[in-house]
Structures are given as structure tokens and as C-alpha cells.
Structure 1
């Protein structure tokens, strides 16, 4: 079956009429094509920071849970994900199964000895980190390093992160770095990594440098705000003042990053899966223009992953809404249709 969608396509808002020729869009009319949906068209949503296949810290990777999580993403209009860290090696169908999103992953987290979550990731000596990260990136395209963990821990030295980034880049890969402290964020920027995950407590003075170096920021803002809410429910004596201050400052930091030209990627890092709309709304509430908040979860995030938008020859993904979601981000909760790999996998009656 050849399917067809038409309407105003974002980001430009111009009218398009597209046909799915297998897993590629074309504007060449097909006489027996089935019109699946008409409305406002996005080239699919992206969750750029999600860890499907587990629901609790330290839990072992579960293939059935993985499929359930990925299907929840599709229900929300997500047709591509990036998993910067997994609890185990994914099955062969990950990223290619016709009913689940396209996927990029970094394999297991790479952390320093004595740091990170018990049962997850690999602990790697500094001398071995560049080669281990490069080997992972050669397999999956990405590697993920935990640059900092607890406030009292030593961060991965700049020299080690720099060597790791260079080794990953030498094999054609990309390096994501977890950072929630100022020192780790500064080291990641100096090292020239490809993306900073979370970025709480980043020095605002580094934002121009981050933009100049083409480093993406995945602020996981909705998760940070939920964490702040939980922290504020505790008695004051049980709160970590530095963490509270960083979480309170995070929305302003994210808005300033957008203003400075930093590429933002929308990522949820949360359970339940399929809540990318929460992250887009959090970005907008922080002061990011709705157009740019949506870009971080759609066309710009797809471009970052190498996926063109709604143009001839592009992968045949789309999510369709009745109204322009930039004017009402709650529209993201109510897609008319989700098209994945040229197939209508979700269509609202």
C-alpha cells in the first residue's frame, strides 16, 4: 500500500503533498495512494536522551520491556530515539524493527572506577578510556562517558576527555558526556565532545564557546524540574543546597543557551517513556521560543542524527496534527497519525 499525507510542513509551514515510496518520501503522485492524514506535518519527533529496556537503577536489560518502551515512544509520535547509555547490548532488531523508532545508541555507559550506578556500565581506567570509547563508537556510532558523578568525586581530567573525543572522532563516531557539575561541564567543553547530557551547573560564560564548537546540549529539563520539586518536598535539613540551586538555575541556563545559539536536543531521560511533549513544554516554559523548542524535538534533532525532513528522498517518517503545534504545544499529546518507515503505525479514528 502506498500512503499519502498532505498539509503544512514544519519548519517552513508551506503546503506539501507527499507519497511514501517504501521508506522514502516522494512528491510524484501515485494514483492508488491512500490518504492517511491531512493537517500540520512534522518529520517525526525525536527523544534524544532515553534509556529504554529498564525502569529502575541497576536493573538488567530486558528485551520485552525494551519493546514496550519503544512502542510508547511511537504512540507519542517519536519516530527516532538516541540512547546515550544502555543497561546492556540491544537486540539485533533495535532501531530497525518496523514498529519501533529508528535508534542510535552509545552502548553501556563508560565511567571512572568507584563512580556511577552499581550494575550498569563499564568502569574504565583513564589510560584505556580512549580506546574503549573508540571501539564502542566504531560499533554503534556513539560512546558515552560519565564525566562527573557525586559532587565530591574527581571529574574525568580534560586531557583524558580530549584524548577520548579525538579517538572517537578518528573512527567516525560521536562522544556524549554526562555532566551535572560545573567542573565536568567545563572539561567536556574544553575537550570538544559532541553533546553534553543534562548540563546542570554549566558555567553560563561557556555558552558562546559551546555554540562555537558545535556542541549540542540535551538539558533533560522536565526531569530536572521534577527532581527539584521532589527535593523541595523534603525537610530543609535534608536538601542538598548546591543541587537545589543548580536545578533552580537550569531553566534560565537553557534559555540563555538557546539565545547564544547552542543546539538544544530534547530528551526525557525518564520513566514512563513516551513523554517527549513534557520536555518540549518545559523548554518553552523556560523561555525557549515554541518554534525552537519543537525543533529540538523534531526537525533539528533529526538533522543532528543525519535524517532529512519532509522532502523528497527523506526517510518516510511523519507525525500529523490538526493544528499548528507551535501555537499550542498540547497538540503534541494528540497526533492524528504517526507514519514510520512509510507505514501508518498509529492513526486516530
Structure 2
């Protein structure tokens, strides 16, 4: 079946009539095309921070679990993911299978010895970090470094992280960095990383610098807020005080980042998968305009990954809704149709 969709295309809201010519949209009529949905058209959703393929931290990558998690994303309208860190190297079909989202990944995480989840990632040593990150980015386009971990842990030195940034950029890649400590966030910005992941406890004074250097923030707000609710019930200790303080300030940080001109991407981080709508709603509740909150999971994220939106020649991904989802974000849970690679998948 040749797919045809029409309606008001976001972000601009102009009326379009699109046909799927294989995996590309065209405005030229295609013979025997079937109109599958008409309404408000959103470029296929993106989860820009997700780790599919493992059930628990430290578990090896499981191919059947990977498929399950990707199908959960697709059922939520997610047609592309970025996975800054995987439990192992993915199978060849990852990112290209017709029944699973497009995918970008950074391979296994890179961390310091004694930090991060046991069994996950590589710990190459500071003297080999830049070389290892560049080798990963050469394979996949991305590398991911854990800049900080537990309270009191040594953060990656800024000169080491800057060398990793330079090495990754030299091979045409991008570097994502996990940080949830103020010191790690400051080092990530000073080093000029491409993507700050989580960014909890980041000094808001650094946001203008991030915007000027085209750095993005993926705040994973919904999962941090869910963890905050659980953490409040725990006995008092330094870890609880750190998390409650940082997580409580995180919604305001995400809103301030958008206000400063930082590109904010929507990401859900952990289980269960297929919760991108929760992240969009969390961003809007934090103070982002609904337009920008939805863009963080659609056109803004797709542009960052090099994917055009709803225009001739663009990849044929779309989610169609009965009315403008920006007016009621709850509508994101009820699409009329989901199109991936020119095929209706929901």
C-alpha cells in the first residue's frame, strides 16, 4: 500500500498533502495511494536518550529484549531514537529494521575505574579515553563518557575531556556526556561537549555558554522527577540530600535552558520504554511552551539528528492526530496513525 497523509504539518502549521514514495515524502501524487489519515501531522517522534536491550543495570544486551523495547517505542509514535550508551554492540538490523525506529547510538559507555554500573561499559583509563572515544565515534558517529558518578567520586579532568572532544570531532563524531554533579557539568561545558545528558545540578550561569556553543541538553526530566518522589521517602543521608536538591531544581533548569536558547531534547532514559509522551508533558509542566516541549521530541530532535521534517524528500515518518496536539498534550497518546519509512505501523 502506498501511504498518503494530509493535514496541518507542524511546526509551521501549513496544510500539506504528502505521499510516501518508498521512504521519502513527495508532494507529487503517487498512483494507487491510500489516504490513511487526515488531521494534524507531526514529524515522527524521537526519544533522544534511551537505553533499550537490557532489563537491569549491568545485564548484557539481549537481542529479543532489544526488539521488544524498540516496539514499545514505536507504539508510542517514536520513529527514531538516540541511545547514548548501550549494554553492548547492537546487531546489524538495529536502526534499519523496517519494524523498528531509526537509531543512532554511542556503543558502550566509557567510564572511570570504580564508577558506573558494574558489567556495563568500558573503562579505558584516562590516558586512553580520547583514543577510545574517537574509535567509537568513528564506528557509529557518537561516543558517550560518564563525566561524574557518585558523591565524592573524582570527575573526569577538564583537559582529558577536552582532548576526548577534540579526538571525537576529528573523526567527524559527536560526544555525549553523562553528568549529574555540579563539577561534572561545569567540566562538560568547559570542554565543549556536544550533548549534556541529564545535567542535574548544572549551574544555570553556564546555559548562555552552552547556547553560544550549540551544545544541547537532554534533561531526562520525567525519570528524574519519578526518582525524586521515591527518594523523598528514604532515610536522610548525603546521597538523599544531593538528589533531592538537584532533582527539585531540575525542572527550572530545563525551562531556563530553553529560555537561554539551548536546544532541549526529550529523552526517557530508563524502563519502561515508550514513555516519550511523559517527557513531553514534564517539559511543558516545567515551563517550556507546549510547542517547544513537543519540538524537543519531534522536529527539533530530528533536525539535530539530521532528519528533515514533513517536506518533499524527507524521510517518510509522521504521527497524525485528530487536532493540534499542542493545545492538549494528552492527545499524544491517541494518534490516528503512525508512519515509519513510508509504512503505516499503527
**TM-score calculated relative to the size of structure 1:** 0.98
- Aligned-pair Cα RMSD in Å: 0.9
In 1, are the aligned partners of 2:21 and 2:30 still within 8 Å (CA)?
A: no
2:181 is equivalent to residue 176 of structure 1: no
Alignment CA distance shift 1:45-1:243 (3 Å): same
Aligned to 1:224: 224
2:271 is equivalent to residue 271 of structure 1: yes
2:249 is equivalent to residue 241 of structure 1: no
Aligned to 2:320: 320
Aligned to 2:91: 91
Q: For the residues of structure 1 that align with 2:134 and 2:239, how far apart are their CA atoms?
A: 39
2:104 is equivalent to residue 101 of structure 1: no
In 2, are the aligned partners of 1:53 and 1:66 still within 8 Å (CA)?
A: yes
Aligned to 2:341: 341
CA drift of 1:239 comes to 6.1
**TM-score calculated relative to the size of structure 2:** 0.99
Q: For the residues of structure 2 that align with 1:136 and 1:282, how far apart are their CA atoms?
A: 32
Structure 1 segment 119-130 matched on structure 2, within 5 A: 119-130=119-130
Aligned to 1:191: 191
Q: For the residues of structure 2 that align with 1:7 and 1:261, how far apart are their CA atoms?
A: 30
Aligned to 1:67: 67
Q: Secondary structure at the match of 2:264?
A: coil
Aligned to 1:132: 132
Q: For the residues of structure 2 that align with 1:287 and 1:298, how far apart are their CA atoms?
A: 18
Q: Secondary structure at the match of 1:34?
A: strand
Q: Secondary structure at the match of 2:167?
A: helix
Aligned to 1:285: 285
2:124 is equivalent to residue 145 of structure 1: no
For 1:293-344, what per-residue CA distance to the aligned partner results, in whole angstroms no more than 9, with x for missing partners? 0000000100000000000000000011111110000111111101000011
Q: For the residues of structure 2 that align with 1:12 and 1:209, how far apart are their CA atoms?
A: 29
Alignment CA distance shift 1:142-1:237 (3 Å): closer
For 1:74-102, what per-residue CA distance to the aligned partner results, in whole angstroms no more than 9, with x for missing partners? 10000000000000110000000000000
2:43 is equivalent to residue 43 of structure 1: yes
In 2, are the aligned partners of 1:49 and 1:266 still within 8 Å (CA)?
A: yes
Q: For the residues of structure 2 that align with 1:43 and 1:179, how far apart are their CA atoms?
A: 29
- Unmatched segments (≥5 aa) in structure 1: none
Q: Secondary structure at the match of 2:345?
A: strand
Q: Secondary structure at the match of 1:133?
A: helix
Q: Secondary structure at the match of 1:240?
A: helix
CA drift of 1:236 comes to 3.8
Aligned to 2:52: 52
CA drift of 1:31 comes to 3.4
For 1:18-61, what per-residue CA distance to the aligned partner results, in whole angstroms no more than 9, with x for missing partners? 00000000000123111111111011000000000012111111
Q: Secondary structure at the match of 1:214?
A: coil
Aligned to 2:295: 295
Q: For the residues of structure 2 that align with 1:288 and 1:49, how far apart are their CA atoms?
A: 19
Q: Secondary structure at the match of 1:151?
A: coil
Q: For the residues of structure 2 that align with 1:80 and 1:142, how far apart are their CA atoms?
A: 15
Q: For the residues of structure 2 that align with 1:44 and 1:231, how far apart are their CA atoms?
A: 34
Aligned to 1:205: 205
CA drift of 1:235 comes to 3.5
Q: Secondary structure at the match of 2:152?
A: coil
- Unmatched segments (≥5 aa) in structure 2: none
2:28 is equivalent to residue 28 of structure 1: yes
